[in-house]
């Protein structure tokens, strides 16, 4: 057997109903961490309550990542390629340029049509963070580290391997974008398309580079810059 065949994991035979059920479950549990953090919205002290909530929050995130990782490893069927630093930088930087261009156009359209300068999802994050240093620090760190890992395992790693045949890359990318977009709050079609587009770029980077770590790094970079801009607007 040649090396290419050895690197491809055969997806187990699973009914469509079960695959949909798995994806619905993953889509629901990824909403748990921010719900937990709501308990600290008006709590501004680092006391026992704070540490208890943060512990539950981090444990929940860890369990979600472990579950998503198991699903991804079970159903993964994409070709994995060796990655050097230069190759990773190419995909991450190139992907971010694509995000900037596409989101720039869509954000401008969102302003022209709906007079919105920010998406509902970003507004929700800003409201959740508020001026509370506890939630600001926690969300700032998790947005750059834990969220990219969890969401890439779910919306790229699991979703793109659970549905469609091996050669249906286009449909995998579209499905990944649409489901990813539906998981983020939107108030109009253009706002929704912003997240669909982001999800599709991440999906292309994952499937074309052959390494989910690249989409995780790109997601982390995007969240880092978005979080810095959000913090600047909150405290500017």
In degrees rounded to 5, what are phi and psi of residue 115? 60, 35
| Residue-level pLDDT at 11 | 63
DSSP string of 146-191?
HHHHHHHIIIIIIHHHHSS-TT-HHHHHHHHHHHHHHTS--SSHHH
Q: How far apart are CA 103 and CA 101, in angstroms?
A: 6
Tens-digit pLDDT string for the chain (236 aa): 333 433 455 667 789 999 999 999 999 999 999 899 888 877 777 788 889 999 999 999 999 999 999 999 999 987 777 888 999 999 999 999 999 999 999 999 999 999 998 888 888 777 777 667 888 888 889 999 999 999 999 999 999 999 877 678 899 999 999 999 999 989 999 999 999 999 999 999 999 999 999 999 999 999 999 998 887 876 65
DSSP 8-class letter at 41:
T
Q: How far apart are CA 114 and CA 137, in angstroms?
A: 32
| Residue-level pLDDT at 135 | 81
| Residue-level pLDDT at 23 | 96
Vertex 180: Cα angle to 231 and 230 (nearest 5): 5
Q: What is the pTM for the complete model shown?
A: 0.91
Scan for tokens 């079609």, then name that residue: 189
Give the H/E segment covering residue 202: helix 189-209
Q: Decide if 54 contacts 36 (C-beta within 8 A).
A: no
Cα dihedral value 79, 152, 157, 206, nearest 10: -20
| Residue-level pLDDT at 4 | 41
| Residue-level pLDDT at 131 | 63
Q: Decide if 152 contacts 212 (C-beta within 8 A).
A: yes
Q: How far apart are CA 61 and CA 142, in angstroms?
A: 9
In degrees rounded to 5, what are phi and psi of residue 190? -70, -40
| Residue-level pLDDT at 7 | 44
Most distant CA atoms of the chain, gap in Å: 60
Cβ neighbourhood burial of 221 (10 Å; 0-12, 13-18, 19+): middle
How distant, in Å, are the alpha carbons of 80, 87, 174, 175 from that of 7?
A: 6, 19, 25, 25
């Amino acid at each position: 057997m040649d090396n290419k065949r050895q690197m491809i994991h055969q997806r187990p035979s699973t009914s469509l109903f079960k695959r949909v059920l798995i994806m619905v479950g993953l889509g629901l549990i990824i909403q748990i961490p921010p719900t937990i953090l709501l308990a600290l919205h008006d709590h501004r002290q680092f006391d026992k309550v704070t540490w208890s909530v943060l512990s539950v929050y981090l444990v929940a995130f860890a369990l979600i990542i472990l579950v998503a990782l198991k699903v991804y490893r079970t159903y993964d069927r994409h070709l994995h390629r060796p990655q050097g630093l230069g190759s990773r930088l190419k995909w991450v930087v190139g992907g971010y340029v694509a995000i900037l261009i596409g989101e720039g156009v869509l954000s401008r359209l969102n302003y022209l049509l709906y007079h919105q300068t920010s998406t509902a999802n970003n507004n929700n994050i800003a409201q959740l963070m508020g001026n509370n240093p506890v939630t600001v620090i926690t969300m700032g760190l998790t947005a750059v580290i834990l969220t990219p890992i969890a969401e890439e395992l779910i919306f790229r790693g699991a979703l793109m391997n659970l549905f469609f045949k091996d050669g249906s890359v286009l449909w995998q990318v579209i499905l990944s974008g649409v489901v990813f977009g539906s998981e983020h709050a939107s108030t109009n079609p253009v706002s929704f398309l912003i997240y669909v587009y982001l999800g599709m770029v991440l999906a292309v980077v994952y499937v074309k580079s052959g390494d989910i770590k690249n989409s995780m790094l790109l997601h982390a970079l995007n969240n880092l810059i978005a979080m810095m801009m959000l913090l600047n607007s909150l405290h500017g």
